[in-house]
Chain A
């Protein structure tokens, strides 16, 4: 009987799930989902919010207390290094894959990382364009095709070969293509070249040359030339 009573008292004093998470919420170490649950409970329960203030007070004073504890003297490091020197020598060990990947990314500058990300984005967009063009240009049923016969480009009109500047982002390329009403009809080919449809077949040669010159002036174009 007494044991049951004691157990009930313990039960009554035990924290509910949300209240027990308050210290971790104050320290910012909960998952986003748990933190949202706690935030919702705090918003609707003033008593819980008051208890949360107590937790924050404890957090602040615990940090204060620990920060006044000082630090070990330089003697500790000296002693450690002496002990390490007395240890048996080790053969150099290669980093495991995870550590190598981690080290590789840590060694890149933010600019290099940004350029790599932009290059990856361009590759993804162009690959998507290529896949789309392959799907759209699938021969219809009833036609046959030999392995050695070249497939005619399915976009009649004036064409050009283009290579984009390495620093061009996916957004730059999309903007460039739409502002000049251009379409990629093939690629990537050797040397990172793409075939562009630049105008109708009826456009006079002089106008085509003029258009190529205009496109060449854009900073995202590394190379461009008329193609048959």
Chain B
């Protein structure tokens, strides 16, 4: 069985092919939704935004020039929509809220470590990172984007992408240490 490439689907969408839109949606909506959800931390908002993102793809398909992967282009649109939504709320407020949440959960480092396995703690700390750090970690680890692709999506130089990733990982280690897990780095 043969499948049309994302580029072919985008070209068909540019011509008004609704079926191509459904195929593209079926192929990518879950990952795009999760990317938005990790940024906004609100399921209802993420679900509203996923429709908006794909509607924007429908409207802009004719402008897609194929200079980047289709998924990179889609994530750029998703990021723009999510950040526009977040501007309506105070992002710092959200991050502080999340940091409080993790502190509330943790009785003290030893009890915390005894209750949860290391993987669960690591995931909890990944959730407690700032939006900026969560974003770069997700793009690299989950969405499998190269340095250049992350730079294109986030709109920063490639060197900054590497530095941001390093500091995101460093912060993760610090959060883990507060939870009683010393990884011996940095």
Contact = CB atoms under 8 A, between A and B. Distances in A.
Given A90-B15, A92-B15, A61 B119 contact: yes
B11 A76 contact: no
B42 interface: no
A103 B140 contact: no
Interface stretch (B76-84, B86-94, B163-171): B163-171
B144 A23 contact: no
A76 B51 CA distance: 6
Main DSSP-derived SS at the B contact region? helix
Contacts of B11: 93, 95-96, 99, 103
Given A27-B144, A28-B144, A62 B46 contact: no
Classify chain B's interface size: 35 or more
Classify chain A's interface size: 35 or more
Given A54-B183, A73-B47, A93-B62, A102 B8 contact: yes
A35 to B, nearest CB: 12
Interface of B: 2-5, 7-8, 11-12, 14-16, 18, 21-22, 25, 29-30, 33-34, 37-38, 43, 46-48, 50-51, 54-55, 58-59, 62, 66, 119, 122-123, 126-127, 137-138, 140-142, 144-147, 149, 162-163, 165-166, 169-170, 172-173, 183-186
5 contacts: A23-B165, A27-B141, A29-B140, A54-B185, A80-B51
